Structure 1
Amino acid sequence: MDEDDVTVPFLQQESINNASASSGSDEPHSGSCASPEPTDRIRIYKSRWYILLTFSLLSLAQAAIWNTWGPLAQSGYDIFGWQNKDIALLTNWGPISYIVADIPFSWMMDVKGCRLACVITAFFCFAGTGLRCITLKKPYSTWLINIGQAINGAAGPVVMAAPPVLSSIWFPSHQRFTATAITSLAAVFGSTISPLIGPLIVQTNTTNISTSVIKPQVIVSIEEEKSEMNALLRLEFIFCAVVFIMVLVYFPDKPPSPPSASAAAPRLEFKNGFFRLIKNQRFWLVCLVYGVVSGITNGWLSVLYINLKPLNISQYDAGMMIFYGGCFGCLGAFAVARLTDVLANHMRKFILALNSLSVFSLIWFQLIFMEFLHVDLVSVYASVVISLTLLMSGIPLLFELSCEVAFPVAEGITNGILTMASNIATLLFLGILMIPNISTSWMNWVMLVSDCITIPALLTLKDDFSRLQLDNVEI
């Protein structure tokens, strides 16, 4: 089962003790999910790849369910008689439930272990999708779909916050960025493929002024549209059932021995760690950046079709923009993560470069939207895809950066608060859209200005990575 077996030298053990002592009067503890008990043996287990696969599928499922309805807004109008505010509420259940469940799940991951947190998360996805399959009859369907979205949203804290936790306790330091990238980007990919799969399965009853250059518009009857919607919901339910079984079969809290020196180091007790984070100014700078890159971007993407309707962009094309942007974003993030595994001390500079370039692509999009530049489908595609690629490429680095600036606070509470900031940003963004008769042009300005704000925040942040230094102690 072991791939490698390395004895931790005295110097590293001494560094572990020094890291614990640096916390002052805060008492470290070693019983959390994020910190395997100190040992003189460092081991790497092949089973980490099963953990990586299972959690990635869970993340993909939860994110795809959350983003079901924005890309199918037109079908929601046809089948259920919804309005823009109904679509915004369904999407907003994600951040609403997240905020309620975040602290309990963060505590669970750090104190009770990852298995319990992931089993409950998988069950929430299973139950949330099951409720949506009961009936499509109005008004019961609207209630069941909203309840299902709320339950699925409660699974968000583990999906969003656990990637750096799992990479810390299962992967060696030279694979940690890549592992975080894969598990965190699985959620991105889930929210990316849903705009593709949904419109592919569910044809609309009404037509759009625009004709897609990729897929011609097909007009079907309401009954056919309902049947296709039912098929999509059942497909998502079956997928969640399979993932739930995978988590039940095998998903231990942690490996028998830690994979790195920092994984063996004790973390602060949950309460002390929480209050230490509150006073950590560097951590809040990372929260600001992540809130924009993840939170506002997610809100903007989830209603992209509504945003692009004034340009006569079809539901299918809006979904394809998200799909291509997400795919290239995942590839970019993986490449940047692999590079950062080698040049870890430069992670802040990589994030700064990506965000700076994304500002220019968002300016390009805004100029097209305002019709200062010629409006054509190819230009809209290019500006959206490039913006998403650049922004998403830095997301895994922000997870790891938050752990570095917060260490020795446990990874669960660290990323729980980090991702709560993201969900609050999404909640506020989508909450504005629920105001009756409000236009959509404000969304692009919020996206652009928020991205600009991240630049001075990243310039202010200092490079001081104590967790990396612990792992890089020379043998």
Structure 2
Amino acid sequence: MGDESKAVDGEVNDNNYFSKTAATDAEVTFENQSTPPETRLYKKRWIIVLLFSSYSLCNSYQWIQYGIINNIFMRFYGVDSFTIDWMSMIYMLTYIPLIFPVSWLLDKKGLRVIALVAAALNCTGTWIKVASARPDLFPVTFLGQFMCSVAQVFILGMPSRIASVWFGSEEVSTACSIGVFGNQLGIAIGFLVPPILVPNVEDLDQLAAHIRVMFYITAGVATFLFVLVVIVFQERPELPPTHAQAAARRISPESYSYTASILRLLRNKAFILLVITYGLNVGCFYAVSTLLNRMIIEHYPGEEVNAGRIGLTIVIAGMVGSLICGIWLDRSKTYKQTTLAVYLMSLVGLVIYAFTLNLGHLWVVFITAGALGFFMTGYLPLGFEFAVELTYPESEGTSSGLLNCSAQVFGIIFTICQGKIMDSFNTLAGNLFLCAFLLIGTFITACIKSDLRRQLANQQALAAAALGRSDVQDHSGTSLLPSTHM
């Protein structure tokens, strides 16, 4: 069985890992059974992931709705460009201190509670912003954005958990991609819609009316989605979708230690390297997205609408990349190879984008930005799924939380630094600054050991079922099935 698992995407460190985790406080022993645990896939799983994607879309749309018309909001509220940049960076800053308590809540309270809190916070934030469409109420609009940023903390860790709890082993990567898809589509709409709804008019009263319309539309959608979550969203299916999930359900909540889980993750060298590389890649994407309006306006004055369309192109191309990568992972299981290839192409895409931005041809920018988005945004679900493989049977919410925390930290650093470099030099220097870190991330990704623990667990469970048993033991008698909360 060990040789078979090693044939999938490189090397799998099997007995060593599961022997160690079996010794944890969360150890679970499985009694011999004549039949394996019953599993089933429910059609409702697609409703659950699509509903999640929808309220994730509504939240991520608001992340960039200020930044993409940076110059308009600067004039309306009478603040500088760096202050408007913080309307995007507050999403990143809020995430860092809150991710650990929220991950703990996800493990203790489950998917439904987290979904309800996320939708409620997002809805509250949108209605606060409705009341802020006056030039003297910038603190109010910032409060509304802050509420939405807190909601985001409850959202970003859920795609991989929903995929594991609701979907089969052959579709978890696709399901995770769909979960991330909603976030990406929201960003795409955030690039496209604000420049259309809020034109750059001189009269402040007229501008306030346009802004108010945009805020009302967002609040209406957020309220509708909150009601749907209350009515429809379900914690988990009655029967588990996979043998790995069935094993996870046998673990009592009292046996799971969130602190111990964090410590195990921090000792996982392959995962720590992935945390760094994920943060570098996604941090670069955050910086490019936040500063896109400034970059385009510098070379193409008056092109606010096209700046939004270029942002849309980046994200739509990334959505296509995400889905393709998710389907490819489910079929090939080549997690490290695919992640490394996409990472390298993200670097190549950013280099080409950096050197073609100032050519004076917007159609060239559309093409290069689309190529950049296909790989850079398409990388997001790859990082989540690779992390789950490297860290199984640890909680998906915890591992994805650490990934996103790294992304937020690097996102803030890169956005501030690139903005300062652009102010002092030019956009080319700012983009080359990001390229240097993507190059570092590519080398680190190549050093990550491909240790596919979730794949091994499913293979061993299938082998156990074929033998008419629910426990698979190594030569020492140690259970090789998962021993901690999933």
1:20-31 equivalences under 5 Å are 22-28=20-26
Amino acid at match of 1:258: P
Partner Cα separation in structure 2 for residue 176 and residue 409 of structure 1: 16
Q: Tell me if the contact between 2:21 and 2:27 (Cα under 8 Å) persists in the aligned partners.
A: no
Unmatched tracts of structure 1, length 5 or more:
1-15, 31-38, 206-219
Pairing partner for 2:63 from 61, 66, 71: 66
Q: Tell me if the contact between 2:419 and 2:430 (Cα under 8 Å) persists in the aligned partners.
A: no
Residue 182 to residue 392, structure 1, CA distance change in 2 (3 Å):
same
Q: Residue 404 of structure 1: CA displacement?
A: 1.0
1:87-98 equivalences under 5 Å are 87-98=84-95
Residue 443 to residue 246, structure 1, CA distance change in 2 (3 Å):
farther
1:171-218: CA deviation from partner (whole Å, max 9, x where unpaired):
00111011000111210111111110111111102xxxxxxxxxxxxx
Partner Cα separation in structure 1 for residue 219 and residue 426 of structure 2: 33
Amino acid at match of 1:363: V
Partner Cα separation in structure 1 for residue 416 and residue 349 of structure 2: 26
Which position in structure 1 is the counterpart of 2:49? 52
Q: Tell me if the contact between 1:175 and 1:341 (Cα under 8 Å) persists in the aligned partners.
A: yes
Equivalent residue pairs, number: 433
Which position in structure 2 is the counterpart of 1:414? 399
Amino acid at match of 1:430: T
Amino acid at match of 2:385: E
Residue 84 to residue 54, structure 1, CA distance change in 2 (3 Å):
same
Aligned: 1:259 with 2:266: no
TM-score normalised according to structure 1 size: 0.86
1:17-60: CA deviation from partner (whole Å, max 9, x where unpaired):
99865404322289xxxxxxxx8211111211121111001110
1:193-212 equivalences under 5 Å are 193-205=189-201
Q: Residue 414 of structure 1: CA displacement?
A: 1.0
Q: Tell me if the contact between 1:196 and 1:323 (Cα under 8 Å) persists in the aligned partners.
A: yes
1:341-391: CA deviation from partner (whole Å, max 9, x where unpaired):
1111x121112112222222222222234x5xx332122222111111111
Which position in structure 2 is the counterpart of 1:298? 286
Partner Cα separation in structure 1 for residue 213 and residue 331 of structure 2: 45
Residue 29 to residue 150, structure 1, CA distance change in 2 (3 Å):
farther
Q: Residue 80 of structure 1: CA displacement?
A: 1.4
> Secondary structure of the residue that 2:170 maps to in structure 1?
helix
1:293-340: CA deviation from partner (whole Å, max 9, x where unpaired):
222212221220112332125211111111012112111211121121
Amino acid at match of 1:445: L
> Secondary structure of the residue that 2:263 maps to in structure 1?
helix
Residue 135 to residue 461, structure 1, CA distance change in 2 (3 Å):
closer
Which position in structure 2 is the counterpart of 1:427? 412
Pairing partner for 1:188 from 184, 206, 216: 184
> Secondary structure of the residue that 2:442 maps to in structure 1?
helix
Partner Cα separation in structure 1 for residue 74 and residue 233 of structure 2: 41
> Secondary structure of the residue that 1:149 maps to in structure 2?
helix
Partner Cα separation in structure 2 for residue 264 and residue 96 of structure 1: 37
Pairing partner for 2:140 from 126, 137, 144: 144
1:354-373 equivalences under 5 Å are 354-369=342-357
Q: Residue 440 of structure 1: CA displacement?
A: 5.4
Amino acid at match of 1:25: A
Which position in structure 2 is the counterpart of 1:389? 374
1:313-324 equivalences under 5 Å are 313=301, 314-324=303-313
Q: Residue 81 of structure 1: CA displacement?
A: 1.7
Q: Tell me if the contact between 1:307 and 1:440 (Cα under 8 Å) persists in the aligned partners.
A: no
Amino acid at match of 2:283: G
Which position in structure 2 is the counterpart of 1:247? 229
Partner Cα separation in structure 1 for residue 366 and residue 319 of structure 2: 17
Pairing partner for 2:432 from 422, 445, 448: 445
Q: Residue 78 of structure 1: CA displacement?
A: 2.9
Amino acid at match of 1:456: F
> Secondary structure of the residue that 1:26 maps to in structure 2?
coil
Amino acid at match of 1:155: A
Amino acid at match of 1:261: H
Partner Cα separation in structure 1 for residue 314 and residue 108 of structure 2: 37
Amino acid at match of 1:471: N
Q: Tell me if the contact between 1:44 and 1:171 (Cα under 8 Å) persists in the aligned partners.
A: yes
Q: Residue 129 of structure 1: CA displacement?
A: 0.8
Q: Tell me if the contact between 2:132 and 2:138 (Cα under 8 Å) persists in the aligned partners.
A: no
> Secondary structure of the residue that 2:65 maps to in structure 1?
coil
Unmatched tracts of structure 2, length 5 or more:
1-13, 29-35, 467-486
TM-score normalised according to structure 2 size: 0.84
Which position in structure 2 is the counterpart of 1:115? 112
Q: Tell me if the contact between 2:418 and 2:431 (Cα under 8 Å) persists in the aligned partners.
A: no
Pairing partner for 1:342 from 331, 340, 343: 331
Q: Tell me if the contact between 1:192 and 1:326 (Cα under 8 Å) persists in the aligned partners.
A: yes
> Secondary structure of the residue that 1:51 maps to in structure 2?
helix
Pairing partner for 1:378 from 359, 363, 375: 363
**Aligned alpha-carbon RMSD (Å):** 2.2
Residue 438 to residue 27, structure 1, CA distance change in 2 (3 Å):
farther
Q: Tell me if the contact between 2:281 and 2:376 (Cα under 8 Å) persists in the aligned partners.
A: yes
1:382-424: CA deviation from partner (whole Å, max 9, x where unpaired):
2111111111222211101011111121111111111111111
> Secondary structure of the residue that 1:28 maps to in structure 2?
coil
Partner Cα separation in structure 2 for residue 197 and residue 467 of structure 1: 40
Partner Cα separation in structure 2 for residue 241 and residue 443 of structure 1: 39
Which position in structure 2 is the counterpart of 1:463? 450
Which position in structure 1 is the counterpart of 2:31? none
Q: Tell me if the contact between 2:285 and 2:377 (Cα under 8 Å) persists in the aligned partners.
A: no
Partner Cα separation in structure 2 for residue 129 and residue 72 of structure 1: 18
Partner Cα separation in structure 2 for residue 459 and residue 249 of structure 1: 45
Which position in structure 2 is the counterpart of 1:36? none
Residue 460 to residue 307, structure 1, CA distance change in 2 (3 Å):
same
Q: Residue 467 of structure 1: CA displacement?
A: 0.5
Partner Cα separation in structure 1 for residue 304 and residue 227 of structure 2: 34
> Secondary structure of the residue that 2:276 maps to in structure 1?
helix
Q: Tell me if the contact between 2:117 and 2:154 (Cα under 8 Å) persists in the aligned partners.
A: no
Partner Cα separation in structure 1 for residue 110 and residue 292 of structure 2: 37
> Secondary structure of the residue that 1:27 maps to in structure 2?
coil
Amino acid at match of 1:302: T
Q: Residue 168 of structure 1: CA displacement?
A: 0.3
Partner Cα separation in structure 2 for residue 135 and residue 328 of structure 1: 33
